[in-house]
Amino acid sequence: MGQGLNRVPAGLTVSVSVPATSANLGPGFDSMGLALDLRDEVSVTTRAEGFTAHVDGEGAGVVPTDGSHLVISTLRAHLRDRGWDVSGLALTAINRIPHGRGLGSSAAAHASAVLLADALLPEDERGSEAELLDAASQLEGHPDNVAPALAGGLTVSWDDDGRYRSAFIRPQASVRPVVAVPEQPLSTETARGLLPAQVPHHVAAANSGRAGLLVHALTQDPSLLLPGTRDWLHQDYREPAMPESVALVRGLREQGLAAVVSGAGPTVMVLAVGEEQAEAARSAMRALLAASAQSWRVSILPVDAVGAKVKAHRSGQPISG
């Protein structure tokens, strides 16, 4: 326990659930994100000593089971930033968000850690929504996944002089995301490393126009989702790292479906309109992937309008250490 830090007492339990997210959505590179109805659930109980993690689902048997677990280490770092620490912690998690697939698993972990830490603090020391967004985004490195994970729905985020901010936008109820998740993961660093340092002015202008159109399509006129999801900034550059994914996007778009690479990939997402088109997109994905050498999970994931929530908190008054 660091000198001068307050101590959170043993016996407090906090649980949170955080949705998966899809960032970029085509032209909204590093700024736009959408929450999806697929959730990780994490619970922590403070104790007198020792740090343990028990994980079921995605990452089970792979992620650390001690204090080096990402949520535990991040939770403690956030507490220390606020002048607190814990002597011990038992974490249990049910992970449903695939790791390394472009569905925001890292952002969900960072958001979970910040929310859990904040809920362990005395009520008068907890952060505002804006402060929690900035804290989790700083940990993640950017807000495009964190913002929809926290707020739900569609978000547009930006850097405001070193602090991350976000605007929540409610998408049309008819929008039905459909995802194809491949068996093999891809690291964000690998995907980002393929991007050029600069792009021509006309490319940036074209992408900017489509990003604006995408917001209109998602909120007002979903019939414009196909042109609204056209991207020139990142997807084609990443083809060497995920050729099947980029080929799938092209094949789906040729059929009139608004397909994009989800986040840094390799998951592919179609922003379908209504149940009928969502089913058609699912069938088209399966047909185009029939000859793939790896397995793909294809499913319809509704937009999550709720965002991250603290589900339970057995309260007690933290004491000074």
Q: Is 193 labelled as part of a ligand binding site?
A: no
DSSP string, 64-120: -SSTTSHHHHHHHHHHHHTTEEESEEEEEEEE-SPTTSSS-HHHHHHHHHHHHHHHH
How buried is 48 (Cβ within 10 angstroms: 0-12 exposed, 13-18 middle, 19+ buried)? Answer: exposed
- 100 assigned ligand-binding residue: yes
98 is in an annotated binding site: yes
Whether residue 68 is annotated as binding a ligand: the answer is no
Question: Distance between CA atoms of 269 and 53, rounded to whole angstroms?
Answer: 32
The two tokens of residue 154 are: 């569609």
Confirm whether residue 104 is marked as ligand binding.
yes
Cα distance between residue 112 and residue 15, in whole Å: 9
- Dihedral pair phi/psi, residue 31, rounded to 5°: -140, -30
Is 61 annotated as contributing to ligand binding?
Answer: no
Instruction: Give CA–CA dist 175/17, Å, rounded.
Output: 23
Residue 187 marked as a ligand binder:
no
Residue 99 labeled ligand binder: yes
Q: In whole angstroms, what is the distance from residue 228 CA to residue 180 CA?
A: 20
Does the annotation place 105 within a ligand binding site?
yes
Q: Please check if 234 is assigned to a binding site.
A: no
**CB-based contact 199:233 (threshold 8 Å):** yes
Q: Which residues are annotated as a binding site for ATP?
A: 98-108
Q: Which residues are annotated as a binding site?
A: 98-108
